[in-house]
Amino acid sequence: MLSPGDPAPDFDLQGTAGGGVGTYRLSAATNRAPAVVAFAPGDASDSRTLLTELAETDWAGVSDAVAVFGVLPAGIDDCQSLAAALSLPYPLLADTHGVAAQFGVRKQDGSMQRAAFVVDKRCRVRAATAFDDLDGTVPDLDTVLRGLAEL
């Protein structure tokens, strides 16, 4: 898994954009504001818990501006369905290009580790945290929030 100080792999991924689909580039987002990139393994309850917690977090209380991206190992249709079901206020990106592996959150069995990264304006990782089995509990985003506050 990438660590603070590592360069974040740039990506161009399709993602949800309101009711439609758009293409998102990490470096374009970080040119304007730091980004939170969160990986969730799919439409399981633990993934839903993480994605919902990201939606309910008061990002403005920590940073003037922040781009939040959820990343799923799924196609865009599945991302659109899940984003609509959860009423997500941020894009849910379809990882069809192996971005999870580039961030080091792809497990040996092919599944994806739940994790979140803070990426700064230079496209460097400033904070990283992995979430073990959540078992329905709310993930602790303190590492992410501290990473944003330090920028």
Q: Are 79 and 20 in contact (CB under 8 A)?
A: no
Q: In what order do the strands lie in the sheet with 125-131?
A: 20-25, 12-17, 92-94, 67-72, 35-39, 114-119, 125-131
Q: Are strands 125-131 and 114-119 parallel, antiparallel or unpaired?
A: antiparallel
147 part of a folded domain: no
* 61 compared with 110, residue with greater pLDDT: 61
7 part of a folded domain: no
Nearest to 139 by CA among 68, 52, 34, 41: 52
- Domain coverage including residue 82: 12-134
What's the total number of domains in the chain? Answer: 1
Helices and strands: H and E segment counts in the chain: 5, 7
Share of the chain above pLDDT 90, in %: 77
* 67 compared with 110, residue with greater pLDDT: 67
CATH of residue 93: 3.40.30.10
Q: Are 50 and 139 in contact (CB under 8 A)?
A: yes
Nearest to 30 by CA among 119, 150, 115, 132: 119
Q: Are 48 and 102 in contact (CB under 8 A)?
A: no
Instruction: Compute the mean pLDDT over every residue in the chain, rounded to the nearest whole number.
Output: 92
Its pTM stands at 0.94
6 part of a folded domain: no
139 part of a folded domain: no
> What's the pLDDT score for residue 3?
97
Which residue shows structure tokens 């040996």? 108
Which two three-digit tokens encode residue 96?
Answer: 């069809």
Q: How many CB atoms lie within 10 A of CB 110?
A: 9
Read off the pLDDT of residues 39-92 as tens digits, 9 standing for 90 and up.
Answer: 998 878 888 999 999 999 999 999 889 999 999 999 999 999 999 999 999 999
33 part of a folded domain: yes
85 part of a folded domain: yes
36 part of a folded domain: yes
